[in-house]
Amino acid sequence: MKRWFLLGLLLTLFVFLAACGDDSPDEAPIESDGATETTNDDSTANQDTTESAPTNDGEIVMVTVELMNGDGNAIGTAELTDEEDGVAVKLQAENLEEGMHGIHFHEEGMCETPDFKSAGDHFNPESSMHGMDNPDGPHAGDLPNIEVDSDGTVSQEFKAENVTLKLGEAHSLLKEGGTALVIHAGEDDQKTDPSGESGDRIACGVITVE
Ligand SMILES: [Cu+2]
């Protein structure tokens, strides 16, 4: 009799501990991970094919880029609008040095002061040479020079014909990790690879949808 009672007690204790074990944070994530992973796979696969394309198709997509200088101070904005023949850029900035400045889309969506080297090279999905006057160019991220007025301001609109804001496309500025818009200290000669000898990076803004 006593042995059965002890056995029953042990069994109850065992079941109780096992139940506790299920609820413990150590085990629960492993089990639910396995379960949610399979359901997640299905739902993301559905989203990839059915959702991401339509949200960016036929709609006007606009991104505002906040530009900062090497001290990390805001100096203006660039408004990017996706259009049929490229991306329209409306640039408005101040506190810049008078004269011509190179400006490009760079391949990394990172603007770390003071030198903005974090923005990487020019956005160049076709692996071509730099410059709009280069027979083997240009980079998709190459842009015409901008001209800053004597009061240090610039207000300019131009079209970037070799890029898009459409998600998933090779020339998309909104690729994973984003891209950056960078203004240089000097003028871009539009032919010297890889950056037109436009000098230091003096302003930078991240291009992203986040
Ligand atoms: Cu550049």
Q: What is the pLDDT of residues 23-77, one digit of tens each?
A: 444 433 334 343 333 334 444 333 333 333 334 555 558 999 999 999 999 999 9
C-alpha 87/C-alpha 63 separation (Å) is: 10
C-alpha 106/C-alpha 98 separation (Å) is: 23
Which pLDDT score is estimated for 59?
59
Q: How far is the CA of 102 from the centre of ligand 1 (A)?
A: 7
Q: How far is the CA of 112 from the centre of ligand 1 (A)?
A: 14
Q: How far is the CA of 103 from the centre of ligand 1 (A)?
A: 5
110 in helix, strand or coil?
A: coil
Helix (H) or strand (E) holding 203: strand 201-207
What CATH code is assigned to 62-207? 2.60.40.200
The 10s digit of each residue's pLDDT in 108-137 is 999 999 999 999 999 999 999 999 999 999
In angstroms, the first-to-last Cα distance of the chain is: 69
Where are the domains positioned within the chain?
A: 2-52, 62-207
| Contact by Cβ (8 Å): 140, 55 | no
